[in-house]
Structure 1
Amino acid sequence: MSETWKTVRHRTAIGRSALSVPVRQALADRQLTPERTILDYGCGRGDDVRALEQLDRRVIGWDPYYQSESLIEPSSTVLLTYVLNVIEDPAERRETLEHAWKLAATVLIVSARLTWEKSKVRGEVFGDGLRTCRQTFQHLYGASELRSYVEEVTGAKVVAAAPGIIYAFKDDSARLSYLAQRIAPDAAWLASADTVSAIAALVDYVERRGRPPRIDEVPHKTAQLLANFKPNELKRLVRDSADADKVAEGAKLSTLNTLLYLAVELFNGRGPFSSLPASVQLDVRAFFTSYREACRRSDRLLLKLRDTGYIRGAMAASQVGKLTPTALYVHQRAVDRMPTVLRLYEHCASIAAGRPAEWTVAKLKHQGRAVSWLEYPDFDTDPHPRIQSSYAVDLQSLETSHTSYVDSTNHPLLHRKHEFLAPDDPAAPRYRRLTESELKAGLYENPHLIGTENGWEAELIRCGRALRGHRLVRRPAE
């Protein structure tokens, strides 16, 4: 650099009363489990470290200013939380990332502030970032820029866990297990207090997965209660007790989830059969003639993702979501009910750019390949919820964008809420009744006016109506 200014970096370390967003994400993603050792590299004031200690995690923190005396040791999981963005020297920034990667035995979790936070950072241009009035430095990353940077420096196959949060896995089996968990999270086993309830738990598993579990998939207590049964006895009990239709439906879902997993894994770099998580290997053996057949079918699924005509047909055939001339909009509660190719569409976007922590509706475009996650925090309480933010990724360029509507004086809002949900969603009938009453009152006669708060309010006044919760009532005479 031509300039010799040095930042006062420790001023960027803020005090926290709760876990940071990256650590909360990592906990939810099972990357900070009790059996792992954790190093918070550049831990600042150490609030995440203390909070993790209270959760009985084996964690140490090191920081060049606040905790320089701590012994730095290689750990299963290394956290590099909001460190890269405060280093003004690109060479030192890279060295820091390289060193953190060497310390990680299983996964390095990198997080950084993103460009959409620019309004919160005031300063003058310095190098490739900003020098603030507090003599600190900030390099704000584009979400795709951070992903590409971590991938390039580590040489690893990385996954975007959320916007601005990247997982770089040393152990490929850990990466594959993480992907499998994202696509089909393990459902909790029913509690087993005695032999009868243990059998019920086993039957429930078979109905959900469409296949019997391997012994290491069975919770320890349940396995103990079933230990006195011979394998053939258990098979007979399950066969006699399980609902055949539910088992068939479970097998169908597991088959589709396996295809989805293998397609996403090809999108991210597929490995040999032996590298797959044990549960996925069992699903392949149970529902396919061979791993080759499963891969062939998943490859066809991935090819279909490139076929605009096929995608449009899948959207038109979807039993969930609101179809518009440009996109399919699906509520979070219904996303897993989309056709498998559309689930793949959304998952590929999430692996590339990370789903935001808070989102309500996924928007899948017909043309091109782009997914947006829209946040409507009051979807279930507001009859016409206002949008709070939008996070989008273009799957062709992997460029991302973020739009905040927090300061808007005329928010875009939703109508016909039931259309975003699955037909059997418990809330759908209530929302449908509201839509029908609004149609009857003539509120949708000018669709070009009602997309924003001001336009909607004007139409309510024109039609002499007001809303009380999810009921449409006559507006009192003024």
Structure 2
Amino acid sequence: MEQAWGSERRRTAIGRSALSMPARQALADGQLLTGRTVLDYGCGRGDDLRALEQLECRVSGWDPFYRPEPQPRTSDVVLLTYVLNVIEDAAERRRALLQAWELASTLLVVSARLTWEKTKVKGEKFADGLLTSRQTFQHLYGPAELRDYVQQATDVRVVAAAPGVVYAFKDDRARLSYLAHRVVPDAQWLASQDTATAVSALVDFCERRGRMPLIVEMPPEVAQLLAHLKPTELKRLVCDGADTRQMAEGARRSTLNTLLYLAVELFNGRGPFAGLPVALQQDVRSFFRSYKEACRRADRLLLKLRDDSYVRGAMQASAAGKLTPTALYVHRRALERIPTVLRLYEHCASIAAGRPARWTVAKLKHQGRAVSWLDYPDFDTDPHPRLASSYLVDLHTLEASHLSYAHSSNRPLLHRKHEFLAPEDADAARYRRLTEAEVRAGLYEHPRLIGTEAGWEAELARCGRQLRGHRLVRRPGSME
């Protein structure tokens, strides 16, 4: 194994008290499964190693300075965490990436610091990056640059798991399975202790999915409890116990989710029918005449993203979200309630450049194609939550940008919170009552003034009001 990495790179290895963001993302995405071997290639001081060991992962690490021995071995998953940033020689950088790729038998997770962190890096121009006063090198990547670089080197289609984190799968079926989980997450089965509760779990699945499950889709305990029943008996039990309207709604939802997945798959590279996850194969068999017909309908859905009038019409018809003259804003709890073409819009951006781990509201522009994920950390507790950050992906260029308001003294804030939610959301009525009280008090008479903290506080003072939680009350000493 070649060990040409410069010794000064050791100074870039920082100490961590918790898992790095890329390792957390891979763990959350179910890629660091029990039984899989994990190699942290370029592990630095080994903090991720220790954290993953505590999670009972079968993990090993290699680093040219901190852990040069033993030599790294092929592992199921290889983590290449912020290594590409610190190698000043472009040819050596590529060799390091290819060595990590060769060591991965299932998945390579590549992460890099991004260009919007440039204010944190001080140094002089050197090669294609910066040389710091500590003689360390940093090449910061744009999200699209990182995706394209890894894709070109590995010669496989990669998926952006999060900003600055891409997955390269050795088996394309594993990539398709990951995409399926992103687009159509597996629903939890009801707990089963006996035949009766197993039948209830089966009925619940059928109502949600609109069809009978395959044996491989059932949890082992459910399959065992129902193993003595014939397929015809199971179908009869479902027919007797399932609500027909819920079954029909489940079938409609599964049909749309299948189209959504196939459209996203085409955006990121569609494979053959046999490469689909088993559950989606069964959805195609159940709700379409053929795989060809399903793909043709999904292709038409993807084409509709180019039609501004169609997208605008979908936004106007949406059951959830706040529509403005430029965009639709939707809370993450309501995202599944918007039309399928708009869900596809958001998914395409997330697959191209990664959806951030922290976000509250998705903003979908209806002229041009761009998605922003806006983070309002206190949305549920603050009657007018402040914006912490914004991450935007332009679907025309696949470029991304990030804005942080952490140090802003006059942050943007939200009004009419109920409009971002689905009407049936448990909090919508409470938020609507606050909005109605604020309208009666005259707080929205000058909408251009209230979009930031300072302007909003000035209008509250002008109207003699203040907020106590989600209640509007008179300010002490104010006159009506």
The TM-score by the shorter chain falls in which range? over 0.9
2:204 match: secondary structure: helix
Structure-2 residue corresponding to 1:215 = 215
Letter of the 1:395 counterpart: L
Structure-1 residue corresponding to 2:142 = 142
Runs of 4+ in 1 over 6 A off after TM superposition: none
- How far apart are the structure 1 equivalents of 2:361 and 2:185? 20
- How far apart are the structure 2 equivalents of 1:366 and 1:297? 22
Structure-1 residue corresponding to 2:235 = 235
Letter of the 1:32 counterpart: L
Contact 1:329 1:420 in 2 (8 A): yes
Aligned length: 474
1:35: how far off? 2.8
Q: CA 1:220 to 1:103, structure 2 compared with 1: closer, same or farther past 3 Å?
A: same
Structure-2 residue corresponding to 1:128 = 128
- How far apart are the structure 1 equivalents of 2:292 and 2:72? 44
2:110 match: secondary structure: strand
Contact 2:412 2:452 in 1 (8 A): yes
Structure-2 residue corresponding to 1:26 = 26
1:7: how far off? 6.0
Structure-1 residue corresponding to 2:118 = 118
Structure-2 residue corresponding to 1:42 = 42
Structure-2 residue corresponding to 1:371 = 371
1:333-372 deviations in Å (ceiling 9; x for gaps): 0011110000000000000010001000000001110000
Structure 1 position 201 matched with structure 2 position 201: yes
Structure-2 residue corresponding to 1:338 = 338
Structure 1 position 270 matched with structure 2 position 270: yes
Q: Map 1:348-387 onto structure 2 (within 5 A).
A: 348-387=348-387
1:133: how far off? 2.2
Letter of the 1:219 counterpart: P
1:121-144 deviations in Å (ceiling 9; x for gaps): 222222211222222111111111
- How far apart are the structure 2 equivalents of 1:351 and 1:263? 12
1:107: how far off? 1.3
- How far apart are the structure 2 equivalents of 1:222 and 1:119? 54
Structure 1 position 108 matched with structure 2 position 99: no
- How well do the aligned residues superpose, as a CA RMSD in angstroms? 1.2
Structure-1 residue corresponding to 2:244 = 244
Structure-2 residue corresponding to 1:83 = 83
1:6: how far off? 5.4
Structure-2 residue corresponding to 1:457 = 457
1:352-404 deviations in Å (ceiling 9; x for gaps): 01000100000000111000000000111111111000000100011111000
- How far apart are the structure 2 equivalents of 1:115 and 1:187? 37
Contact 1:417 1:432 in 2 (8 A): yes
Contact 1:77 1:108 in 2 (8 A): yes
Q: Map 1:155-174 onto structure 2 (within 5 A).
A: 155-174=155-174
2:398 match: secondary structure: coil
1:149: how far off? 0.9
Structure 1 position 177 matched with structure 2 position 177: yes
Structure-2 residue corresponding to 1:302 = 302
Structure-1 residue corresponding to 2:467 = 467
- How far apart are the structure 2 equivalents of 1:333 and 1:7? 48
- How far apart are the structure 1 equivalents of 2:6 and 2:204? 61
2:436 match: secondary structure: helix
1:245: how far off? 1.0
Structure-2 residue corresponding to 1:444 = 444
The range that moved more, 259-268 or 117-126, is 117-126
Contact 1:7 1:137 in 2 (8 A): no
Contact 1:8 1:135 in 2 (8 A): yes
The percent identity for this pair of structures is: 73
1:372 match: secondary structure: strand
- How far apart are the structure 2 equivalents of 1:476 and 1:402? 41
1:40 match: secondary structure: strand
Contact 1:264 1:344 in 2 (8 A): yes
Letter of the 1:405 counterpart: Y
Q: Map 1:281-320 onto structure 2 (within 5 A).
A: 281-320=281-320
Contact 2:106 2:170 in 1 (8 A): yes
Provide TM-score, normalisation by structure 2.
0.97
Letter of the 1:399 counterpart: E
1:139-176 deviations in Å (ceiling 9; x for gaps): 11111111111111111101100000000111000000
Letter of the 1:203 counterpart: V
Contact 2:374 2:390 in 1 (8 A): yes
Contact 2:7 2:65 in 1 (8 A): no
User: Any unmatched runs of 5+ in structure 1?
Assistant: none
